[in-house]
């Protein structure tokens, strides 16, 4: 566990699913300064998802490293992790790059204390029908698989590893339920923020464009039982526009899903007062 000191109040900017959109990354530092936040949380799927995915390392060592350096110089803490469209083969490079900057932390499957608050991250997702399976898991032991668009693929240093019988292979892996239980328990859930790329089920934060609701029952059950202060999600980019909901209460827990489509979309949260607002800004050029 790493600790990062800060001065009160605790204002955070939460953004997710940027998928290498450089103009959004360019906007992020000025936006964080504008809102006087102490912490930016980037909730996964941060690398480009088009073209050759095995070139994602170039984005990490180029644009992303410059991005981290700017936040580190500005004195703003930056918590992040890779998502399900970011190749796991580059996890060591990403960890190394984060480690160059004292104010940047990889939050995947770990927790960080900042003042009165703990931040705990988890970037596994419920199995998808798509072929890339680096971060996919069954939700619960009785999970029913979706129809698949092809054989499973895992990224390796030698290229793609094809998993012919993905369903059998997935049954040998920990479930999302298992992964949630493996996380370190917070000292005080009432002062804890979970950053979980996958949204919970049954709250309207997991609705695809076709109306399907694909959230995790295991995550729902975990949050309902533990009752942390805040849970931050993403993954289903269009959900807020489809369901009309970007936040929901689960008992005492406030769950946030900002979404991310063509607009620059983020949420500003005052952790002390739990006042929050979602922003959707257009691209602009000063030239």
How many whole angstroms separate alpha carbon 253 and alpha carbon 247? 10
Query: Distance (Å, rounded) from C-alpha 118 to C-alpha 228?
Result: 10
Burial degree of 271 (CB within 10 A; 0-12, 13-18, 19+): buried
Our CA angle for 120, 134, 119, nearest 5°, is 5
| Residue 2 pLDDT | 52
CA distance 111 to 124: 15
Q: Residue 26, class by beta-carbon neighbours within 10 Å (0-12 exposed, 13-18 middle, 19+ buried)? A: middle
- ∠ CA 189-256-71, rounded to 5°: 85
* pLDDT tens across the length of the chain (287 residues): 455 544 467 999 999 999 999 999 999 999 999 999 999 999 999 999 999 999 999 999 999 999 999 999 999 999 999 999 999 999 999 999 999 999 999 999 999 999 999 999 999 999 999 999 999 999 999 999 999 999 999 999 999 999 999 999 999 999 999 999 999 999 999 999 999 999 999 999 999 999 999 999 999 999 999 999 999 999 999 999 999 999 999 999 999 999 999 999 999 999 999 999 999 987 654 43
Residue 274 tokens, joined: 């739990």
* β-bridge pairing 264-270 and 275-281: antiparallel
Pick from 236, 232, 234, 235: nearest CA to 268? 232
Domains, the chain, ranges and CATH? 2-281 (3.60.21.10)
What φ, ψ does residue 214 adopt, rounded to 5°?
-120, 20
């Amino acid at each position: 566990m790493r600790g990062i000191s800060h001065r009160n109040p605790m204002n955070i900017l939460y953004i997710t699913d940027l998928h290498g959109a450089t103009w959004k990354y360019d906007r992020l530092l000025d936006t964080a300064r504008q809102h006087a936040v102490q912490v930016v949380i980037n909730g996964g799927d941060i690398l480009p998802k088009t073209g050759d995915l095995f070139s994602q390392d170039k984005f990490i060592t180029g644009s992303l490293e410059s991005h981290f350096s700017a936040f580190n110089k500005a004195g703003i803490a930056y918590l992040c992790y890779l998502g399900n469209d970011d190749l796991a083969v580059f996890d060591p490079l990403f960890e190394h790059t984060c480690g160059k900057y004292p104010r940047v932390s990889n939050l995947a499957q770990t927790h960080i204390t900042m003042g009165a608050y703990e931040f705990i991250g988890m970037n596994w997702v419920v199995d998808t029908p798509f072929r890339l399976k680096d971060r996919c898991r069954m939700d619960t032991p009785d999970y029913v698989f979706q129809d698949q668009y092809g054989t499973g693929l895992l990224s390796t240093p030698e290229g793609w590893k094809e998993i012919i019988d993905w369903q059998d292979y997935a049954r040998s892996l920990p479930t999302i339920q298992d992964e949630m239980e493996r996380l370190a328990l917070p000292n005080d859930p009432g002062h804890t923020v979970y950053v979980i790329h996958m949204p919970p089920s049954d709250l309207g934060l997991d609705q695809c464009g076709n109306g399907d609701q694909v959230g995790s029952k295991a995550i729902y059950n975990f949050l309902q039982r533990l009752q942390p202060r805040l849970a931050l999600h993403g993954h289903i980019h269009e959900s807020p526009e489809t369901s009309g909901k970007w936040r929901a209460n689960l008992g005492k827990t406030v769950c946030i899903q900002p979404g991310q489509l063509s607009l620059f979309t983020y949420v500003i949260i005052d952790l002390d007062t739990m006042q929050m607002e979602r922003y959707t800004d257009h691209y602009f050029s000063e030239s």
